[in-house]
């Protein structure tokens, strides 16, 4: 800006000087004659030269003052004129202020050329800089998918080409076995056996490709950072391939995923006692032997605590080596006493139990309600498992009838608890070859009731139990544990 002002000042001086020369040598005849007649030729020439010098001097001073004066906003320039010669140097505004608020200047055309040139440079710089994706997440490009419940914890999902995806970080919060090694190409994960595996990847930046993927994961690299922002994994490929229990509920637009029951190969024990109960209470509205009194239940739990036993879930069998004296407490049918009498005792002793519910009886008189079943499941003290829909004798049903009893009760309990039941209790312990063939399609194991101790090397679909009746002495109770 200062260079431009100096140029304008010099141009003003040169223009004034040239004007003076023209006036002194080329003035009109009338003017020269008038001046000559009144003052003579010498005075006229002197006068012309004096006015030219004064005019040039004034132009030069004006240019110098314009150059020396601090730049002001246009509003200040139009206000009352100040005596700049009296303004101390320390009071002059900083150069940055002048750049922010420049004084209004006449349009000479040169500034428009400069601005156009600067605009061209800006456009060129913008063309060279990388484009920044307007999308900060794959969620902005894909619609929400069905509800996904992983062991009762809801995971956000997206849907593309009929495939449901969940973000790997959400899965890793629920499943300790899943880890990601993003430093490898391709990205590596660990499966439930802690072996490495990978997926085919479709990379998405700021728009979806025309062809949707048929398998594999989605690597979203938006945000303009050039680094991977999100990893989305296909539910079916991730969980079913890993041997998880996956239940697709189209009617409720929900996917239920549960860790299957397995028996640890590192267990330090060769057998586990499994105890069979039914109701807890003193209101004997049914077969009296099925009603263990609350006092007896307390005494038995106290015995377990005093003698170092660990009541566990069936799901705890996968890490059985963590328990020195494991025991499985099972309660059939889903009676209301399991909620009103047993549940408070479990909270008091901090012990676990496994409750097998007849889903067709939920909400009936003397049976738990859906809300009570859900509360027990979310308490961390009770695992809810299946005891079929109607408690029919399975061998009396054809295959379709048996499938309905096993499949529908599984679905109903998943809808109530958000978790897929993994263990089946055969009604009255009854089952046949058809039952043994189809049960593994729906469950990880099944229990019967023939009064033997369960050996870990035996079949998982005929696990025996000891019956605990009402009135059992504590010594007889203890004998069932050895």
CA 198 to chain centre: 21
Alpha-carbon Rg for the chain in angstroms: 45
Render pLDDT for 17-45 as a digit per residue (tens, 0 to 9). 555 454 444 444 444 444 433 444 334 33
Cα separation of 132 and 126, whole Å? 11
Looking at residue 207, what is its pLDDT? 86
Residues of the chain above pLDDT 90, percent: 58
Among 1-15, 56-70, 90-104, 393-407, the least confident range: 90-104
Q: Are 74 and 104 in contact (CB under 8 A)?
A: yes
pLDDT at position 185 over 80? no
Terminal-residue alpha carbon distance, the chain: 99
List the Cα angle 381/383/387 in 5-degree steps. Answer: 145
Partners of 391 in the beta sheet?
none
pLDDT at position 153 over 70? yes
CA atoms within 13 A on the CB side of 78: 5
Which helix or strand (DSSP H or E) is residue 355 part of? strand 353-357
Partners of 220 in the beta sheet?
204, 230
Among 5-9, 47-51, 437-441, 471-475, the least confident range: 47-51
pLDDT at position 295 over 60? yes
Cα separation of 233 and 217, whole Å? 5
What is the fold of 271-479?
TIM Barrel (3.20.20)
Q: Pull the structure tokens for residue 220.
A: 């979203």
Q: Pull the structure tokens for residue 170.
A: 């959400």
pLDDT at position 315 over 60? yes
Render pLDDT for 324-370 as a digit per residue (tens, 0 to 9). 999 999 999 999 999 999 999 999 999 999 999 999 999 999 999 99
Looking at residue 352, what is its pLDDT? 98
Query: Considering only CA atoms, which of 464, 446, 443, 447 is closest in space to residue 455?
Result: 464
pLDDT at position 268 over 50? yes
Mention every residue, 6+ apart, whose C-beta is less than 8 A from residue 408: 359, 389
Max mean pLDDT among 38-52, 174-188, 440-454 falls in 440-454
Cα separation of 94 and 75, whole Å? 18
Q: Are 275 and 468 in contact (CB under 8 A)?
A: yes
Query: Considering only CA atoms, which of 156, 327, 175, 309 is closest in space to residue 242?
Result: 175
CA 197 to chain centre: 23
pLDDT at position 287 over 80? yes
399-417 helix and 370-378 helix, angle to the nearest 10 degrees: 70
Looking at residue 68, what is its pLDDT? 45
Confidence category of residue 15, pLDDT binned at 50, 70, 90: low
> 387 or 190: whose pLDDT is higher?
387
For the chain, give the number of residues: 482
On average, the pLDDT of the chain sits at 80
Q: Pull the structure tokens for residue 326.
A: 């494991």
Tell me 340's DSSP state.
Answer: I
Render pLDDT for 452-461 as a digit per residue (tens, 0 to 9). 899 998 989 9
Q: Are 406 and 424 in contact (CB under 8 A)?
A: yes
Q: Are 381 and 311 in contact (CB under 8 A)?
A: no
Cα separation of 240 and 163, whole Å? 13
Looking at residue 242, what is its pLDDT? 84
Q: Is the link from the previous residue into 143 a cis peptide, with omega within 30 of 0? A: no
pLDDT at position 89 over 70? no
Helix (H, G, I), strand (E, B) or coil at 15: helix
> 157 or 225: whose pLDDT is higher?
157
Written as one string, the DSSP assignment of 206-223 is SS--SSPPSSSEEEE--T
Q: Are 255 and 246 in contact (CB under 8 A)?
A: yes
> 323 or 74: whose pLDDT is higher?
323
Cα separation of 383 and 151, whole Å? 11
pLDDT at position 323 over 80? yes
Looking at residue 414, what is its pLDDT? 98
Max mean pLDDT among 78-92, 223-237, 256-270 falls in 256-270
Q: Are 69 and 84 in contact (CB under 8 A)?
A: yes
pLDDT at position 81 over 70? no
Render pLDDT for 372-427 as a digit per residue (tens, 0 to 9). 999 999 999 999 999 999 999 999 999 999 999 999 999 999 999 999 999 999 99
Helix (H, G, I), strand (E, B) or coil at 234: strand
């Amino acid at each position: 800006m200062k260079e431009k002002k100096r140029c304008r000042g010099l141009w003003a001086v040169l223009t004034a000087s040239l004007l003076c020369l023209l006036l002194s040598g080329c003035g009109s005849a009338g003017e020269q004659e008038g001046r000559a007649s009144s003052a003579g030729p010498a005075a006229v020439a002197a006068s012309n030269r004096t006015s030219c010098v004064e005019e040039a001097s004034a132009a030069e001073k004006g240019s110098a003052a314009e150059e020396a004066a601090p730049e002001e906003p246009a509003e200040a320039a139009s206000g009352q004129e100040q005596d700049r010669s009296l303004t101390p140097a320390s009071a002059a505004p900083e150069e940055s202020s002048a750049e922010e608020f420049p004084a209004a200047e006449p349009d000479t055309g040169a500034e428009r050329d400069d601005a156009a040139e600067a605009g061209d440079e800006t456009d060129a710089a913008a063309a060279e800089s990388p484009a920044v994706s307007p999308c900060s997440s794959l969620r902005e490009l894909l619609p929400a998918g069905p509800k996904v419940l992983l062991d009762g914890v809801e995971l956000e999902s997206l849907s593309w080409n009929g495939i449901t995806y969940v973000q790997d970080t959400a899965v890793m919060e629920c499943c300790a076995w899943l880890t990601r090694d993003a430093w490898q190409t391709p990205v590596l994960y660990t499966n439930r056996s802690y072996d490495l595996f990978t997926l085919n990847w479709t990379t998405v930046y700021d728009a979806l490709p025309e062809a949707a993927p048929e398998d594999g994961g989605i690597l979203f690299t938006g945000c303009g950072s050039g680094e991977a922002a999100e990893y989305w994994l296909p539910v079916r490929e991730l969980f079913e391939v890993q041997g998880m229990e996956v239940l697709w509920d189209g009617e409720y637009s929900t996917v239920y995923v549960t860790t299957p029951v397995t028996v640890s190969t590192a267990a330090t024990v060769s057998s586990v006692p499994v105890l069979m109960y039914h109701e807890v209470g003193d209101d004997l509205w049914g077969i009296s032997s099925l009603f263990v009194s609350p006092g007896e239940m307390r005494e038995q739990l106290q015995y377990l605590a005093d003698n170092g036993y660990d009541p566990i879930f069936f799901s705890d069998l996968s890490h059985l080596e963590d328990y020195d004296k494991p025991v499985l407490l099972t309660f059939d049918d889903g009676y209301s006493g399991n909620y009103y009498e047993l549940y408070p005792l479990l909270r008091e002793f901090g012990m676990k139990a496994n409750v097998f519910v007849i889903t067709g009886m939920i909400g009936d008189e003397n049976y738990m309600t859906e809300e009570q079943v859900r509360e027990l499941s979310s308490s961390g003290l009770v695992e809810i498992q299946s005891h079929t829909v109607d408690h029919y004798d399975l061998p009396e049903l054809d295959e379709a009838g048996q499938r309905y009893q096993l499949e529908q009760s599984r679905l109903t309990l998943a809808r109530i608890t958000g978790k897929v039941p993994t263990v089946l209790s055969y009604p009255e312990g009854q089952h046949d070859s058809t039952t043994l063939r189809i049960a593994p399609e729906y469950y990880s194991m099944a229990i019967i009731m023939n009064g033997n101790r369960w050996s870990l090397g035996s079949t998982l679909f005929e696990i025996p139990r000891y019956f605990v009746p009402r009135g059992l002495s504590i010594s007889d109770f203890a004998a069932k544990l050895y």
